[in-house]
Amino acid sequence: EAGVAQSPRYKIIEKRQSVAFWCNPISGHATLYWYQQILGQGPKLLIQFQNNGVVDDSQLPKDRFSAERLKGVDSTLKIQPAKLEDSAVYLCASSLGASGMSYEQYFGPGTRLTVT
């Protein structure tokens, strides 16, 4: 079974530039998550989709971050414009059902973003 795919694996940009990350979840997984993990901290949920609908984006900085999941499959996360504090690993995860129903989350390898 193929895992969660993410690209790119690494990205270096200057502040005020824009960047986009792509995620392809495990086939058949209804729920897709984007997390931000800053060094030394646990993953912080940015946005959660169930199929192609947003169920939680309460921690997404909507003035600069946006995400979409067209057709309920793959997803993109965009940052525009980037700030220095956006330097982090961006993790995509998917699960068969909603996390509140005790489904395991499978994580992709992440995109390591450095903003200079």
CB-nearer residue toward other proteins: 17 or 52 = 52
Q: How far is the CB of 22 from other proteins (least distance, A)?
A: 16
CB-nearer residue toward other proteins: 76 or 105 = 105
Interface map 32-71 toward other proteins (x if CB under 8 A): -x-x----xxxxxx--x-x----xx---------------
Residue tagged 């993953």 (tokens): 43
Quickly list DSSP for 31-90. EEEEEEE-TTS--EEEEEEETTEEEE-TTS-TTTEEEE-GGGS-EEEEESS--GGG-EEE
User: Do residues 77 and 46 touch, judged by C-beta distance below 8 A?
Assistant: yes
**Which parts of this chain interact with other proteins (CB under 8 A)?**
31, 33, 35, 40-45, 48, 50, 55-56, 91, 98-102, 104-105, 107-110
